[in-house]
Amino acid sequence: MIFISDVHYQLDYLSTLPKNKGPVVILGDLINWIDYRNGEGIAKEVFGSDNVHKLIDLRKQHKFEERKNLWKNLYSIDPEIIMKKMKEAIENQYHEVFKILKLHEVWFIPGNVDDVDIMNSYTASSINNVDGLLIEQEGIKFGFAGGGVPTPINARGEISEKEFSKKLSNLNQAEIICTHAPPYVNELMTDVITNKIEQGWKSLLDFIKINNPKYSLFGDVHQPKASNWKVNNTTCINIGYFRATNQYLELSSII
């Protein structure tokens, strides 16, 4: 059983995943909206390189209101054409990702950039959306709660803290809790490259303190200040920015 997160349309690395390790568990963000290292992604296809690099610079400078206004202006130029181009680009990326993943047994949950409806259209006997489920595998109970933490950007995969907390309420028996975003711990939320404290779930931190799962596994923060952290008896692990690192976590390495 192996875990990856933040695939962001990294097809080359996906194609090299081992096929004899059991289910591939993906903790969200299958498509690439913007790669903040180089500007590649759907946004570049739709809005052009210059605009994307402006958006990246504003994010690094923490000028979020200016960034929000730029997004608004870009979307308003020709909304119908923009939405059509965006939908086509998103569907194409999912198609290519799931084409490779069909060679594996896959469990996935959505991340903040994901379109759940499109993801669900690819579910099959070997590809399953496990969001909100408690599953026993290899004698261990895994809990899955997907979705991105709400932000002013209002990305398609974001959900409210209340909705996320409701998912967690059914997962109290989980020995390993799997989410897209980390618990609300500064060191786990801080991205050292973007110079920004990203998002974390307050309800997940509460869940960990109350239920004491053995592990909390997540992604979302691409270059975290800390990738491993203890909350009481729970080991919290950022399993890595797959698009950049080709990194996966093998279950046998931690149990």
Within 10 angstroms of residue 192's Cβ, the number of other Cβ atoms is: 12
| Whole-angstrom distance, CA of residue 239 vs CA of residue 126 | 23
CA nearest neighbour of 27 among 139, 167, 138, 182: 182
CA nearest neighbour of 221 among 207, 249, 201, 202: 201
So what's the pLDDT on residue 201?
A: 99
> Which is it for strands 106-108 and 24-26: parallel, antiparallel or unpaired?
parallel
As a whole number of Å, the end-to-end CA separation of the chain is: 11
| Whole-angstrom distance, CA of residue 37 vs CA of residue 42 | 14
So what's the pLDDT on residue 196?
A: 82
| Whole-angstrom distance, CA of residue 56 vs CA of residue 209 | 36
So what's the pLDDT on residue 63?
A: 87
158 DSSP assignment: B
So what's the pLDDT on residue 153?
A: 78
Containing 148, the helix (H) or strand (E) segment is none
So what's the pLDDT on residue 61?
A: 85
- Identify the structural domains of the chain with CATH numbers, from first to last: 2-244 (3.60.21.10)
So what's the pLDDT on residue 60?
A: 81
Under-50 pLDDT residues of the chain = none
So what's the pLDDT on residue 152?
A: 80
pTM for the full predicted model: 0.94
| 105 within 8 A of 123, measured Cβ to Cβ | no
